[in-house]
């Protein structure tokens, strides 16, 4: 898990994700890193990566992720799977909702990475998002500014999906 945050919301969501992964796969199953001042090699040692990032200032990347772009461009993501969750405000920034994960997902794809953990856009009332592909987001969108009561269940539903797509859980057909 790699996350960046300005005001702590993404850190809180990252801790929730980590807690739920550990509950399913055990305490040693996941490492957590804040992206601030990390290098490319800090990420490239992993093949299964969860990235958490908010969107700031009308569709901009959070500052630490902005600074990380040159590092990402040095990483070969071939054979790596990456799942995103994004924090945003669907009403206050309806035309830029969770743009950050859409922008960053493209970088990862351009570097050969495989994206996992897409989710439905239903349940959100934004106008536009760079995170959208058809009727899906390129990851999980969380809006703790307006729908904090849904955060836990959104994460709870997403983790098994990501772990299955990562090949770490067998899908339960029952
Ligand atoms: C000045 C400002 C600009 C923002 N810009 C956007 C935006 O463009 N798109 C969006 O979805 N959310 C935007 N937000 C909402 C934040 O992404 C949201 O509050 C998020 O939870 C912050 O995460 P953090 O605490 O991890 O930094 C903005 C919030 C503020 C205060």
What are the residue boundaries of the structural domains of the chain, listed by start? 2-165
Ligand 1 centre and the CA of 6: distance in Å? 9
Whether 56 lines ligand 1, by a CB cut-off of 6 Å, is yes
Whether 98 lines ligand 1, by a CB cut-off of 6 Å, is yes
d(CA 83, CA 105): 9
Measured from the Cα of 143, ligand 1's closest atom is 21
Whether 145 lines ligand 1, by a CB cut-off of 6 Å, is yes
Q: Which CATH class is domain 2-165?
A: alpha beta
Mean pLDDT of the chain, nearest integer: 97
Q: Please tell me the total number of residues recorded for the chain in this structure.
A: 174
- Using alpha carbons, select from 166, 145, 22 the residue that is nearest to residue 81: 166
Q: What is the pLDDT of residue 171?
A: 76
Give 31-86 pLDDT, tens digit per residue.
Answer: 999 999 999 999 999 999 999 999 999 999 999 999 999 999 999 999 999 999 99
pLDDT at 172 over 90: no
- The per-residue b/e assignment along 141-157, b for 16 or more CB within 10 angstroms, e otherwise, is bbbbeebeeebeebbee
Ligand 1 centre and the CA of 89: distance in Å? 6
Which uninterrupted H or E stretch holds 137? Answer: strand 136-137
**Local structure of 154: helix, strand or coil:** helix
Query: For the whole prediction, is pTM greater than 0.75?
Result: yes
- Token pair in block for residue 66: 């902005």
pLDDT at 170 over 90: no
> With the CA atoms of 94, 96, 101 and 103 taken in that order, what torsion angle do they form, in degrees rounded to the nearest 10?
160
């Amino acid at each position: 898990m790699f996350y960046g945050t300005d005001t702590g919301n993404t850190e809180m969501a990252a801790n929730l994700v980590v807690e739920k992964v550990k509950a399913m796969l055990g305490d040693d199953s996941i490492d957590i890193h804040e992206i601030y001042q990390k290098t490319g090699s800090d990420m490239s040692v992993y093949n299964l990566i969860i990235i958490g990032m908010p969107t700031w200032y009308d569709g901009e990347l959070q500052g630490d992720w902005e600074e990380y772009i040159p590092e990402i461009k040095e990483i070969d993501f071939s054979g790596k799977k990456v799942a995103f969750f994004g924090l945003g405000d669907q009403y206050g920034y309806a035309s830029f909702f969770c743009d950050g994960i859409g922008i960053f997902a493209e970088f990862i794809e351009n570097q050969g990475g495989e994206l996992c953990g897409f989710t439905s856009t239903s349940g959100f009332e934004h106008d536009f998002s760079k995170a959208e592909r058809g009727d899906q987001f390129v990851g999980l969108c969380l809006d703790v500014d307006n729908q904090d009561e849904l955060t836990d269940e959104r994460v709870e539903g997403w983790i098994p999906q990501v772990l299955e797509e990562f090949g770490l859980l067998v899908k339960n057909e029952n």
